[in-house]
Amino acid sequence: MMMGIRKSLAALAAATVLSGMAAAPATAQMLDPNDPDDFNRISARVQCGAEHGDEVVYHFSGNIYSRVPGERDRLLFRGEGMNVRACLFYDDPVRGPGYRIVSREVLFYIDPQTGEIVDTWENPWSGETVDVMQIHNDPVNNGPSWARDEEGNPSRRFGDFRVEGPYVFMPFEVPLFYRNPLAGDYQDYVGNMYHAMEIFDFAANADELFDPVNHPVAYPMVSWVRISQFMPWMEMGGRPGLMVFNFMGRKLPGGFEELPQIMIDEIRENYPEYETAPPLDDTRPNETTWTKFKLLTDRARAEAAANGETGESHSGH
């Protein structure tokens, strides 16, 4: 869903790997979101399981719209998505508790009328039928995230929780603006940068989230919104417009087996590695829709050239 992983992992050499959840206090008192160290522990409870390597699954579903100047927004697809992850926990004498996430994610485009996963799609703007590339990114790793910086000061995002009555609200925006891997070497001069925003809003019961003794694993809800350019497999070229993904979901107490059956069947048939998280020592660069599309397109072109064929195919499997 980011950091230089190898550089970040090197910084962990001085940290102690803990056997439990982010160095939770030995006493049974509730975690305090106003304390930087506890704030990090609470963040880890939102993202992770209770112990090193415990796998947890987030499921989210919703709608996917187009927004094109001069026309009504269109419901293009419904969607079913999941992220399977595991965490490593650390403790550092200066930076305090920390954690790192290793994960993979898939999102399937669903026909709003039939409820089936879409393999091909008729582009209503171009009239062309194109192959659909489901979102399947491996890995999507993050961190490490620390309670404090190198000088021991609270980390930048400390204090981003809002407690209202029995609930905790945790907003998290990710503005994205970077070189598009599908464009050339002159984006600073002619544009084509990838420009998007992802918005994650978590909500949880305060008693559950702040109490690691009686609730070793917290099960928050999540809202995810993405505003982005059209997907590359849609072959929209330079047409103006955006896509809006609006999804809601939660961390599943029952893990993978609690996903909708349509997801379980599709993952086991076509994306079996996405049933489990990456290895805890994973140092591969993160994938995005754009890097995965480039990988598959380059592979299809190479295979076609080797077979003396022309044209290309974009397969999501």
pLDDT, position 188: 74
Is residue 7 predicted with pLDDT exceeding 80? Answer: no
Strand segments, DSSP code E, in the chain are: 16-17, 56-67, 74-92, 96-110, 120-122, 129-131, 135-137, 142-146, 162-164, 167-178, 194-205, 221-228, 242-251
- Residue 24's pLDDT band, with cuts at 50, 70 and 90, is low
Q: Which pLDDT value is given to residue 9? A: 46
The C-alpha atoms of residue 178 and residue 291 are separated, in whole angstroms, by 13
Q: At residue 315, does pLDDT exceed 90?
A: no
pLDDT of residue 217: 96
